[in-house]
Amino acid sequence: MDCGSCALTIQKGVASIREIDDARVNFSTGKMTVVTNSMHIAKKDVLKKVKQLGYSASLVDDDNVVEKESISQEQIVLISTLLFAIGLTFQFLIINSMISNIFYALTMGLAGFKTFRSAWFGIRAKSLDMNVLMSIASIGAVLIGQWSEGATVLYLFVIGIYLQNKAVNRTRQSIKDMMSLAPDNAILYRNGEWIEVESKSVEVGDRILVRSGDKIALDGIIEKGSTNINQSSITGESIPISKRIGDSVYAGSINESGTIEVRTTKVASDSTISQIVKMVEEAEERKAPSEAFIDKFSRIYTPIVFLVAILTMILPPFWGMDLKDSIFKGLELLIVACPCALVISTPVSIVSAIGNAAKNGVLVKGGSYLETASKISAIAFDKTGTITKGKPEVIEVEVFEGTKQEILSISRSLEQNATHPIAKSIVKYAIAKEAHILKVTDEQNIVGKGMTAKILGKSYSIGSSKLFNLTSQQESFKKMSESNGNTVIFVGREKIIIGAFLVQDTLQKSSIEAISKLKSVGIKKLVMLTGDNQKVASNIAKQAGLSDTSAELMPQDKAKQIEVLQQNHTVAMVGDGINDAPALATSDLGIAMGGAGTDTAMETSDIVLMADNLNKLPYLLLLSKSTVRIIKENITLSLLIKLIALIAVFGGVLPIWLAVLSDTGMAVIVTLNALRLLSKKDIK
């Protein structure tokens, strides 16, 4: 494919197959998605149709076709350059030489073979793509005796396409590089020995060995050994992370020291890195608003200029103007009618930015979210797991009735399946104190408050003070505990409070730096939203450098706070995906943190920060602003050059070679401009 219009030709052609429900072709990624419910359509039928349209295709796992095409295109450019140069030499040595025309014809035949073939299939598919326009222009030039001009059109066109494709392939390569991060083989423990097998044959629950210096083949949990893991390919963090028994590791990460044994938790096709690649590919398929606008514009622009070109060839001779000059102007207009530079300006920018973000541990689910991120003026943060480490610890257990061990057993039983960090900390503490699990029935989760259930026929509850009616003594205990920076979780039997946990979470040091950077990049309002008590929230907010905080909020209250902010700002909500769903959905941009650890975070948000900190948030906002700026530059420059070319055509001062460069040359320029986003660095 040479540009977006070629992609549209293939899309129309494949979609015309009776059994095909839908076909989508993405020029930037070079991929096609076909949807069908028919059992009668085979992959070979789709590949055959693509070939009939003048193109070649292969299944996503087979890159041979792409490689062969890139090599032959290089040869075509080299031989065409030689033939064209010989033609020019003979033209200047011997005026009107038939020999030069022969070499021009050979240049057209070689450089234009694929263009002519694609144009023929484009006409059959009723698609007015760039191959059709360039073919008509070159053949028209020959018909009026301008062999050199006809050869120039196709020669410059094939060079422009070659350079453009070389550049675009860099964006496609970034995804291929991600796909190759996880090794193809793993060392599996089977039948009492370690054997090397294909990673895709390893099942969930199998045990694999990872030696020092090896890449980890599958996601899992360390069962033996300790090490330092470089997981920059997943989270974008360059500093190795210390891992020990019980810690999670991810496919594609590098084991830098020590041999470990890992119990797999996902198959290869479902690993975190595989999910990232799938989501990035899906994101590249989604069109940003600016891209959708350009597509609509080009569908109108090209037919109009094509019609004007035909009229320019036909009408002026009736008014006494020279037929040859009229045809020549019409041919130039046909070339100017190509919208290639304009069409490619946005998708290549989006794909480059999304690829860069993925390499830096930021998963962007579509170009529209990048455009929204560039407009963000206010950010709301959840506290637990976002501003703080999200690993609270039980500091003390207060017993009001019964024994401490009884309270621990009840609490462990109630919270054993809970996902909130505070609940997990209570379970961890109870396990460390060897508290027993009791049989639980009639579990009921009360959003934002806690939960209730029956144990041995009696009703028990655990949660915040909102779940209970506190006595004056218990209220005083709560206030005193909170003044010391503790979160108080009560445990009750029937309507009586029998104990309480004092829990503390600590601030992430990276939050302070990230919030400072966010202020420096122009975010006007930064606020923390939490269900925790006001004193704890204010203390954490002050340490983090946040001036605004709203505490003791239910999940739906967080969503309402977002709506208030939206009255004056474009708002992003940042959370860990736990109890944040309403706020993430309500905000203009939902950003989940810690995606490497939870599937929830990857599913409930528009953008995912794979690491467990805010370090990449300022980078994301700067990347989004750069992306939008480059898109605007590309669109403005493309439209400006088109306008100048149109004026020059009617002014009679545009040579045909310059008309070609105004399109294919501009396509190369906007592509190279977009590729700058691939190397956009994180801010220090």
Across 136-184, the runs of DSSP E, i.e. the strands, are: none
User: Tokens 């503390």 appear where?
Assistant: 504
Residue 674: closest CA among 167, 176, 27: 167
Where in the sequence numbering do the catalytic residues fall?
A: 382
Question: What's the rounded Cα separation, in Å, for the pair 85 and 272?
Answer: 53
Q: Distance (Å, rounded) from C-alpha 521 to C-alpha 350?
A: 21
Q: Cβ(324)–Cβ(144) under 8 Å?
A: yes
Contact 582, 531 (CB under 8 A): no
Smallest CA-to-CA distance from 217 within 157, 263, 149, 174 is with 263
φ, ψ (nearest 5 deg) of residue 550: -125, 125
Q: How far apart are alpha carbons 519 and 360 in whole angstroms?
A: 21
Tell the residue number behind the tokens 């950010």, with chain if given. Answer: 379
Contact 532, 552 (CB under 8 A): yes
Q: Do 4 and 295 contact (CB within 8 A), yes or no?
A: yes
φ/ψ of residue 506, rounded to 5: -110, 150
3-state SS of 520-563 is HCCCCEEEEECCCCHHHHHHHHHHHCCCEEECCCCHHHHHHHHH
Residue 597, token pair as written in the block: 């650890």
Q: Which residues contact 196 (CB under 8 A, 6 or more apart)?
A: 185, 186, 187, 188
Indicate the angle between helix axes 509-520 and 534-544, nearest 10 degrees: 60
Q: What share of the chain is helix, strand, coil (3-state, %, to 5)?
A: 55, 20, 30
Q: Mind spelling out the 3-state secondary structure of 239-297?
A: CCEEECCCCEECCCCEEEECCEEEEECCCHHHCHHHHHHHHHHHHHHCCCHHHHHHHHH
Which has the closest alpha carbon to 438: 520, 507, 493?
A: 493
What 8-state DSSP symbol labels residue 393? Answer: E
- Dist CA 217 CA 364 (whole Å): 24
Return all residues near 132 (Cβ < 8 A) that are at least 6 apart. Answer: 119, 122, 123
Bridge partners (DSSP) of residue 242 are 228
Indicate the SS3 state at residue 125.
Answer: coil
